[in-house]
Amino acid sequence: MSNLLNFDPKNREPFAMMVQTLVQRHGQDPKDLFLHALESRAEPEMNYWTLLELVQNYFVSPTAPVGEDAEGAPVKPLHAAVLMENPGALAALLELKAYEGGVTDHDIQLAARMASRQEDQALLAILMKHAEAQGALEPFMRALQNAPLH
């Protein structure tokens, strides 16, 4: 699996142990921990490894809606990560392919437009790096430039 933020996989173990302790000793629900990591302002690496651990080892769905927007439409974790300006969570969700379609389809394009509207260069860079890893940076950028502004 590509690592969009170039975090050292050796650093995963302390976060895996933290998640295990919270779930097994303290009875925390993995889905609640997932939401906390998604909303977290902690270091990107902490959110990144925590989300990977929860999805890969505690079977938390990376695509199940985490809430509703103002119109009552479901909000996917990918979009919540952008709204929460959480680069670690965004990178983990992209690597987990927690979206439908490809980089030119609705899920990724909506995330990119949201990051663009927020003028969040770090999140846009992660989305672009993911598109590039998929061999689709040019189509991704073209789709983003041609997107309606709403």
Confirm if 64 and 96 have CB atoms less than 8 A apart.
no
Per-residue pLDDT reduced to its tens digit, 10-54: 999 999 999 999 999 999 999 999 999 999 999 999 999 999 999
**3 state DSSP class of 2:** coil
Q: What is the CATH number of the domain that holds 22?
A: 1.25.40
User: What pTM did the predictor assign?
Assistant: 0.94
Q: Tell me whether residue 122 is in a domain.
A: yes
Indicate whether 95 pLDDT > 90: yes
3-state secondary structure of 7: coil
Instruction: Give the domain extent around 60.
Output: 9-145
Q: Where are the beta strands (DSSP E) in 6-102?
A: 67-68, 74-75
34 within domain boundaries:
yes
Structurally, the chain folds into a number of domains equal to 1
Residue 89 lies in a domain: yes
Query: pLDDT (tens digit, 9 = 90+) per residue, 55-86?
Result: 999 999 999 999 998 999 999 999 999 999 99
